[in-house]
Amino acid sequence: MRIRLNERQPHDIEFGIIYGGIGVLVLIALRFTPVASLLPGCVFKGLTSFPCPTCGATRAVLLLVHGEAAASLSMNPLVSLCFMVACLVFPYSLLAFLLHLPRLSMELSVREHVVARVAVVALVLMNWSYLVWLTMR
């Protein structure tokens, strides 16, 4: 794996701005509107009585919005961490874009791509196992 600073190319997609912007918009929506009360319950959990891999995601983000990071992490650790990272990457990506600063980039070998994909699947499965364990207690 190589991490380096690259100049932005005209064809580069700013994923940090896209995902971070979505995170910030979700923060604003959940903080200032009653959108959480309008959301339906989990259909998967209703049919199987087991939580889906994203069960508790909305509640976890709501807890983050209200500054309760520890409670958010206990509700759904993976969603909480991903949301926090997206919100932290957003200002960096926006400043790098607006000020034409070099961006951090990571180059992975083919083997490292495979390892990263397996790691993501393992993280999702571990998070899901944790959610099932919470339901069984």
Rg (CA), the chain: 18
Q: Give the model's pLDDT for residue 65.
A: 87
| Domain assignment of residue 67, yes or no | yes
Tokens of 72: 């958010």
| Domain assignment of residue 127, yes or no | yes
| Domain assignment of residue 2, yes or no | no
Enclosing domain of residue 128: 13-136
| Domain assignment of residue 3, yes or no | no
| Domain assignment of residue 8, yes or no | no
Tokens of 27: 């923060």
What end-to-end distance do the CA atoms of the chain give, in Å? 41
CA distance 73 to 52: 16
Burial of 80 (0-12, 13-18, 19+ CB in 10 A): buried
The number of domains in the chain is 1
Task: For residue 87, give every residue at least 6 positions away whose Cβ sits within 8 Å of its Cβ, in sequence order, or none.
Answer: 20, 23, 24, 27
| Domain assignment of residue 34, yes or no | yes
Looking at the chain, how many residues does it have?
Answer: 137
Q: Give the model's pLDDT for residue 88.
A: 85
| Domain assignment of residue 5, yes or no | no
Tokens of 117: 């994909």
Alpha carbon 93 to its chain's center: 16
Tell me the per-residue pLDDT of 78-129, one tens digit each, with 9 for 90 and over: 999 998 888 888 898 899 888 988 888 889 999 999 999 999 999 999 999 9
Question: Which pTM was predicted?
Answer: 0.80
How confident is the model over 22-49, as a mean pLDDT? 84
| Domain assignment of residue 55, yes or no | yes
Of 97, 89, 73, 77, which is closest to residue 22 (Cα–Cα)?
89
